[in-house]
Amino acid sequence: MTADLLNIFEYEQRARDTLAAPAFDYYASGAHDGLALRDNRAAYDRLRLAYRVLVDVSKRSAATTVLGTPVSMPVVISPTAFHGMAHADAELATARAASDAGTIMILSSLSNTAVEDVVAAAAGPVWFQLYVYRDREATAGLVRRVEAAGCEAIVLTVDAPRLGRREADVRNRFHLPEGLSVRNMLPDGYGDVSQQAAESGLAAYFESLIDPSLSWSDIAWLQSLTTLPLIIKGIVRADDARQAVDAGVAGIVVSNHGGRQLDTSIATIDALPAVADAVQGRLEILLDGGVRRGTDVLKAVALGAQAVGVGRPILWGLAADGQAGVARVLSILREELDLAMALAGAPAIDAISADLIAKVP
C-alpha cells in the first residue's frame, strides 16, 4: 500500500525498493554524467515566486484545455517506454488512471501494450508518440493504424536520431524481460529489443531501426499521412520553435528527453521563456522534464506552457501500486498545484502570469 507516501520523491524511493535494478536504472538514469537529468530538476529550484496577496482565492479551478481538449489541470502524461516492467497491467493501468484524472495520456511508440488495447481501456483522450523508422512504409502504416485506433494526436519525437549513452543500461546490458516486446511494431517485425546485444539492447534497436536522417523536410510527409494534429517533441531553441510554426504543426513540447539524450543540454524550464517569446502564441507549447511539485507546474504555466508532461513520476506510481499509484501521483500534483495557486493569488489558470516569477533564467 502507498497511503503513507506524501510526495513524488517518496514514490520514487518506493519504486526503487520495488523494481528490479535493471528496470529502475532504465527508468531513472540519464545520459553520461546525468547533468541534464539533475539540472531539469534543479532549474525549478532556481526560480522564486513573487506571490500576490489579498486576492479572493476561495474558489479555484485548474481546468484548462490542451489543443482544444478539456483537461482537469495543466498536467498530461508524457510518453515513457515499457510500462510492463513496472506493473503487469502496464499501459492499461496508466491509461485508466489518466482518464479518471481527466487528462491526456501520450502513449509511447515503445509501449508493451498495443495501441488499440490502450485506447479501448481509456475513457479519455490518448495521443501517440512517434519515432520514424528507417522503414518509412512501416512508419506510415503505424501512423494510419493509430489514427484508426482512435488516438487524437501524433507527438513526433525529434531529439533522438541516435540514442543517448545511458551508462546504467550499458552496464546492465539492458533488454526487455521475457514476454515483453514493442507491441506496436510486432506486425512489421520490429518488436524485439534484443537480449543478445553486447551493450544496451535498446541502443542496438535504435541504431538498426530508427531513421537518423529525419529532417524538417519530412514534416510535410508526416502531415500528409494523417488528419490528426502533429506536435513536435524535443524543442529547446527559439529558432527551432519558429521552424515548427512555419511547418504548420499544432504544437511543440519543450523537452530534452528527460536528460536521456544529450548530456549538459539546457534545462527545459530554462529554455521555455525564449521558446515562448519566439512562438508568440502561434502554436501551443507543452513542457516536460523535472516536474515533481505543484509549484513546478505553476512556474511552467507562468513562463508560457499550456501544460506540463510528467513521465518518471507516472512510472514510480505504477511500480508502487499499479493504476492506484498512478492515480495518486496525479492527485498529489493536483493538490499541490491547487495549494500553490491559492498561496500565489491565482485562482484560475489564466491568472498564472509571468510576473509571478521573481527570477527568470
| Chain mean position to CA 302 | 19
- The span from the CA of 48 to the CA of 296, in Å, is 10
- 324, 269 Cβ separation under 8 angstroms: no
- 175, 41 Cβ separation under 8 angstroms: no
Catalytic, 83? Answer: no
Query: Which residues have CB under 8 Å from 106's CB, separation 6+?
Result: 76, 77, 78, 79, 126, 127, 128, 129, 155, 309
Write the single-letter amino acid at 345: G
Query: Which residues have CB under 8 Å from 45's CB, separation 6+?
Result: none
Cell numbers representing residue 61 in the block: 479551478
Catalytic, out of 83, 87, 175, 257:
257
Beta strands in 188-322 (DSSP E): 230-235, 251-254, 284-288, 307-310
How wide is the angle at C-alpha 197 spanned by C-alphas 195 and 199, nearest 5°? 115
Sign of CA dihedral 96, 102, 229, 205: negative
- The span from the CA of 169 to the CA of 204, in Å, is 11
How wide is the angle at C-alpha 282 spanned by C-alphas 278 and 286, nearest 5°? 75
Closest CA to 340 of 275, 277, 291: 291
Residues serving a catalytic function are 257
